[in-house]
């Protein structure tokens, strides 16, 4: 028996209260630079020191592309949990939590607005909503957006940011790949341009369908783009994967993408592509131009 007893106090958890207000400063995960939140917002969430691209929400994405306000399409579509799916927790609970945290009803916003004056239908995915996964609602909203573009003779831009198909909706989520692809084929037959923008991350069934079907496929720098994860591939082919595998630059080098562009230059690039892809008469329908006279000069809409 000990003569003296040392009273051990439990180690106190570190003082969590920071003197800096929450969310005022952000640390760049790539270079460690501390960035003032407002500066980051001004540079479209790109680190001004190293060019690291922070992930954008769907709303931030639309704000970065459109000139002004936009019209949302089908904002109230929600999943009905058709399989009554339960994994570690019920799918219904996951949906409720995501709706509460993001303010969205599902992982995509479809909207019509103007990109440097060109009326365009844009669908932007939100990673914050169950990993930006594509379920029935995402499939339906994207398909309707494309159909709306065909009806109004407008170009389509889809910004992907997704972990792939939503497994909680089983095969119903996989069917969206075919559904969206078929709608894009109709858009193609209507001779309207579709630009796909792949952001970090774009994987699984989204890569395997509409993200790679653009007339032009654009990616943001260092974005993870792939179908299966690198570990699964390594185990299957029993080989070590090369450096930078499944990143935008690697895919560009191997012919899977057309352009890798800094987010701050994305809107201007998109404008040039849309102008190029749309017949001039459609970029700016002119009453002075008779329908049977070929239009030769590009009429800017700005
Ligand atoms: Zn940085």
CA of 49 to the centre of ligand 1 (A): 5
User: Residue 53 carries which DSSP code?
Assistant: B
User: Residue 247 carries which DSSP code?
Assistant: B
Residue 1: predicted pLDDT: 64
CA of 37 to the centre of ligand 1 (A): 13
Residue 284: predicted pLDDT: 55
CA of 35 to the centre of ligand 1 (A): 9
Residue 5: predicted pLDDT: 78
Pairwise CA distance, residues 121 & 132, whole Å: 19
Pairwise CA distance, residues 216 & 122, whole Å: 15
* Per-position pLDDT tens, the chain of length 302: 677 777 777 776 655 554 555 678 999 999 999 999 999 999 999 999 999 999 999 999 999 999 999 999 999 999 999 999 999 999 999 999 999 999 999 999 999 999 999 999 999 999 999 999 999 999 999 999 999 999 999 999 999 999 999 999 999 999 999 999 999 999 999 999 999 999 999 999 999 999 999 999 999 999 999 999 888 999 999 999 998 999 999 999 999 999 999 999 999 999 999 999 987 655 554 444 444 444 444 444 44
CA of 50 to the centre of ligand 1 (A): 4
In the numeric block, which tokens belong to residue 276? 């190029």
CA of 25 to the centre of ligand 1 (A): 13
CA of 51 to the centre of ligand 1 (A): 6
Q: Does residue 173 contact residue 132 with C-beta atoms inside 8 Å?
A: no
Residues 6+ apart with CB under 8 A from 87: 168
CA of 55 to the centre of ligand 1 (A): 13
Q: Among candidates 95, 102, 103, 105, which has minimal Cα distance to 74?
A: 105
Residue 22: predicted pLDDT: 64
CA of 46 to the centre of ligand 1 (A): 8
């Amino acid at each position: 028996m000990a003569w003296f007893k040392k009273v051990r106090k439990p180690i106190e958890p570190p003082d969590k209260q920071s003197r800096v207000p929450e969310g005022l400063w952000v640390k760049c995960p790539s270079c460690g630079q501390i960035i003032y939140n407002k500066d980051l917002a001004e540079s479209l969430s790109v680190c001004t020191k190293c060019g690291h691209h922070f992930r954008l929400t769907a709303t931030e994405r639309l704000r970065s592309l459109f000139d002004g306000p936009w019209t949302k399409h089908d904002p109230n579509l929600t999943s009905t949990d058709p399989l009554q799916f339960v994994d570690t927790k019920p799918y219904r609970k996951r949906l409720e939590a995501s709706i509460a945290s993001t303010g969205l009803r599902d992982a995509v916003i479809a909207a019509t607005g103007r990109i440097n004056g060109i009326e365009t239908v844009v669908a932007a995915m939100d990673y914050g909503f169950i990993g930006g996964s594509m379920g029935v609602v995402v499939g339906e909203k994207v398909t309707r957006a494309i159909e709306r573009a065909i009806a109004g003779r407008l170009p389509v831009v889809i910004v992907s940011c997704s972990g792939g198909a939503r497994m909680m909706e089983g095969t119903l989520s996989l069917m969206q790949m075919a559904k969206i692809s078929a709608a894009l084929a109709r858009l193609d037959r209507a001779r309207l341009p579709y630009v796909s923008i792949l952001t970090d991350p774009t994987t699984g069934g989204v890569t395997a369908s509409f993200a790679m079907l653009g007339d032009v496929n654009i990616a943001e720098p260092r974005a993870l783009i792939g179908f299966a994860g690198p570990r699964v591939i390594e185990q299957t082919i029993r080989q070590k994967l090369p450096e930078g595998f499944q990143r935008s630059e690697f895919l560009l080098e191997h012919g899977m993408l057309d352009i890798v562009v800094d987010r701050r230059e994305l809107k201007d690039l998109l404008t040039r592509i849309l102008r190029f892809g749309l017949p001039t008469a459609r970029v700016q329908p002119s009453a002075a131009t008779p329908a049977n006279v070929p239009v030769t000069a590009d009429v800017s809409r700005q």
